[in-house]
């Protein structure tokens, strides 16, 4: 059992380019499931082929009885489904019993985003006369201007930005590359930062760090926590929203595009979503906004 889990996690890391955060979550989900199976079969002779959809439903029910939220339970089911799909491909299992288990119904959670005035204020906060301030401004402009993920941002190398064609190449989920247009504000912020970037080099800077676009104050390729702190601090200065992660700027990118009439399929490609249904979540935000405007402005609303 443990070997099957390890092989699957290695596949996600090497073949699918999953982040360390996602790998840790999947590892914990499958550890909990295998621990449940040991208790469920109570020492009787069993194998993975003994696991059916009822066994998986009992596992999910056990989690809900422990007080776990439906969203977390749904994620664990997704991890089990994906793992068993992998095992079917490897001929360990004949069928995937998790396909017959219904996902717990989740409440719709709309993306959190910033309004345009807050974005404008936020971009003026960094002190661009310093290398760190220029870097912070470039980070914010690039996240908002492209909608890229945190994991995609920290992987960027100098060769990924094409100022001539005004594009940036990112390496996304599933080891897929995509090309995103680079807007004027982002280009200006990047150019300003590039003029000061080498001032961040230190004795600790390695050859790979010299290729990286974004560097820490120690001259190393910037790490996720470093980006998170930049964004958290910046959002906190302009908004009272509870969530202040880099993903908020990704949500804001998509919402602002749709608010200004962008085609949903184009936004899907820019975000690197596999399914249009994922992108459609942002249309709920724009519909809610239109309803508010209607009720505020129409005399018979």
pLDDT at position 286 over 80: no
Which residues form the catalytic set? 149, 173, 247, 250, 273, 282
Check residue 274 and give its pLDDT: 80
* CB 190, CB 180: distance < 8 Å: no
- All structural domains of the chain with their residue ranges: 2-100, 116-295
Single pTM value for the model: 0.70
pLDDT at position 288 over 70: no
Check residue 154 and give its pLDDT: 94
In this predicted model, which residue has the larger pLDDT, 176 or 158?
A: 158
* pLDDT grade for 104, boundaries at 50, 70 and 90: confident
- CATH code of the domain made up of 116-295: 1.10.443.10
Check residue 96 and give its pLDDT: 94
pLDDT at position 207 over 80: yes
pLDDT at position 82 over 80: yes
Mean pLDDT, to the nearest integer, of 122-133? 96
pLDDT tens for each residue of 46-61: 778 888 999 999 999 9
Q: Which CATH architecture has domain 2-100?
A: Orthogonal Bundle (1.10)
pLDDT tens for each residue of 14-25: 888 787 888 899
In Å, the largest CA–CA distance within the chain is 72
- Cβ contacts of 114 within 8 Å, gap of 6 or more: 122, 235, 238, 239, 241, 248, 249, 252
Side-by-side strand order, sheet with 167-171: 161-162, 167-171, 177-181
Q: Taking all residues of the chain, what is their mean pLDDT, rounded to a whole number?
A: 89
pLDDT tens for each residue of 163-181: 999 999 998 776 678 999 9
């Amino acid at each position: 059992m443990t070997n099957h889990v390890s092989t699957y996690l290695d596949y996600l890391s090497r073949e699918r380019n999953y982040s360390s955060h996602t790998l840790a979550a999947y590892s914990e989900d499958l550890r909990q499931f295998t621990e449940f199976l040991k208790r469920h079969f109570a020492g009787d002779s069993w194998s993975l082929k003994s696991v059916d959809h009822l066994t998986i439903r009992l596992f999910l029910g056990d989690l809900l009885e422990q007080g776990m939220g439906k969203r977390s339970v749904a994620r664990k089911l997704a991890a089990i489904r994906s793992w068993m799909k992998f095992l079917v491909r490897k001929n360990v299992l004949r069928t995937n019993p998790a396909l017959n288990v219904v996902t717990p119904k989740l409440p719709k959670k709309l993306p959190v985003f910033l309004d345009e005035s807050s974005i404008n204020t936020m971009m003026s906060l960094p002190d661009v006369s310093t290398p760190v301030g220029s870097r912070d401004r470039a980070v914010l402009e690039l996240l908002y201007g492209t909608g890229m993920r945190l994991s995609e941002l920290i992987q960027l190398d100098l060769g990924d930005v094409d100022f001539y064609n005004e594009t940036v190449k990112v390496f996304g989920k599933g080891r897929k590359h995509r090309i995103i247009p680079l807007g004027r504000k982002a280009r200006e912020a990047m150019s300003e930062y590039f003029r000061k970037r080498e001032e961040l080099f230190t004795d600790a800077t390695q050859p790979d760090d010299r290729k990286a676009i974004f560097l820490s104050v120690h001259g190393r390729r910037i790490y996720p926590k470093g980006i998170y702190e930049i964004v958290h601090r910046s959002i906190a200065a302009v908004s009272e929203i509870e969530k202040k992660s880099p993903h908020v700027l990704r949500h804001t990118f998509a919402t602002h595009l749709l608010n200004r009439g962008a085609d949903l399929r184009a936004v899907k490609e820019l975000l690197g979503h596999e399914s249009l249904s994922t992108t459609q979540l942002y249309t709920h935000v724009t519909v809610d906004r239109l309803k508010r405007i209607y009720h505020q402005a129409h005399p018979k609303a």
